[in-house]
Amino acid sequence: MSHLPALWISKKYSIPWFITWNDIEPATNAPIPYGKGLHAKVGGLDKSFFRQIILKSTHNIFPSEESCHYMSEIYPELKNRSTVIPHVASHLHDIEINPSVPFTIAHAGSFDGRRNPDTFFEAIRMVNKLISKTIHVKLIGNHISDFRVIGIPEDIRDQFQLIPWQTYSKTIEFLQHAHVLLLIEAPMEEGIYLPGKFVDYVQCRRPVLAISPERGVIQKALSTFGGGLRVDYRSPGKIADAIVRLHDSWKEGNLATEFCTQKLYEQYCEEKVMKLYGDLMDRFCNKRDRS
């Protein structure tokens, strides 16, 4: 229903209306486990409402090609009314990590049942058998108050630090003081979403360890531009191998070069994203009205 005020303002003042679709609508048709899948039956009223919104909008924006294609399967009208513009990565001053700090992996955000850390925990236990307990993990901003609730195995609890909810800027500061940033996606057949968290990680200029689907946005980004490793969420062994590889690269002093984030950052940097928005504004808006 949040679209209705925008629709009213657009019509009343005769101004362009751009909709950004971060989620799939109707929610029932979102990929499993977020919804029931592309072909799930949805009430005609819901689908009709969103179709009318799409048709009355000036243009539609999606953060990824995959989410745009997915929703276009539901609403073919989107195919000539959409542009892909990713989330933006701000420019941050680089922070040097104290050399005495142990190898640290950080994760921001909560685990909601769909994004499940259990295979990561199992991987840490496997890593400990290879390189002892040299990995430190920070979990920032979970809705939990103790280790028992989150389910961290007792034998690795001392390697984890639980940090309560922080402001956005404070969270970014925590992330910048980690060596590797952890992304855990839900077990989807294809990862169609560009998580805002991933772009936050990219702007911190730290390698990303992504536990995510075999096909999708994150897999394509990391395999094309570098800046981290993607591993299958179903395989603790592969996750452990990736952690060891990142740890060894850090130990040898090669982490920043072997997993350089520059090309990845350039895909989401302010200059690129603002140019995409500028092109869109030039296409649909009267320049004189914007001056």
Per-residue pLDDT tens digits for 131-140: 988 999 999 9
Please report whether residue 153 resides in a domain: yes
What pLDDT digit, counting tens, does each position of 143-188 carry? Answer: 555 444 567 899 999 999 989 888 999 999 999 999 999 999 999 9
Question: What is the pTM assigned to this prediction?
Answer: 0.92
Please report whether residue 216 resides in a domain: yes
Q: Phi first, then psi: give them for residue 39, nearest 5 degrees.
A: -100, 10
Residues 225, 183: Cα–Cα separation, whole Å: 17
Count of structural domains within the chain: 2
Q: Are residues 72 and 165 in the same domain?
A: no
Q: Are residues 135 and 70 in the same domain?
A: no
Q: Are residues 205 and 164 in the same domain?
A: yes
What pLDDT digit, counting tens, does each position of 24-34 carry? Answer: 999 999 999 99
Q: Are residues 70 and 175 in the same domain?
A: no
DSSP-derived letter for residue 34 is T
Q: Are residues 115 and 256 in the same domain?
A: yes
Residues 163, 121: Cα–Cα separation, whole Å: 17
Question: Are residues 3 and 53 in contact, defined by beta-carbon separation less than 8 angstroms?
Answer: yes
Q: Are residues 26 and 114 in the same domain?
A: no
Contact residues for 155 (Cβ-Cβ < 8 A; gap 6+): 125
Please report whether residue 98 resides in a domain: no
- Count the alpha carbons within 13 Å of 255 in the hemisphere toward its beta carbon: 24
Please report whether residue 232 resides in a domain: yes
Alpha-carbon Rg for the chain in angstroms: 21
What pLDDT digit, counting tens, does each position of 69-126 carry? Answer: 999 999 999 988 999 999 999 999 888 898 899 999 999 998 888 899 999 999 999 9
What pLDDT digit, counting tens, does each position of 227-281 carry? Answer: 999 999 889 999 999 999 999 999 999 999 999 999 999 999 999 999 999 999 9
Per-residue tokens: 217: 């946005």
Q: Are residues 255 and 273 in the same domain?
A: no
CATH of the domain at 193: 3.40.50.2000
Taking alpha carbons only, the member of 189, 231, 193 closest to residue 210 is: 231
Q: Are residues 132 and 222 in the same domain?
A: yes
Residues 17, 60: Cα–Cα separation, whole Å: 9
H helices of the chain, in order, are 3-13, 44-56, 65-74, 118-131, 147-150, 168-176, 196-203, 217-225, 236-251, 255-258, 262-266, 270-284, 287-290
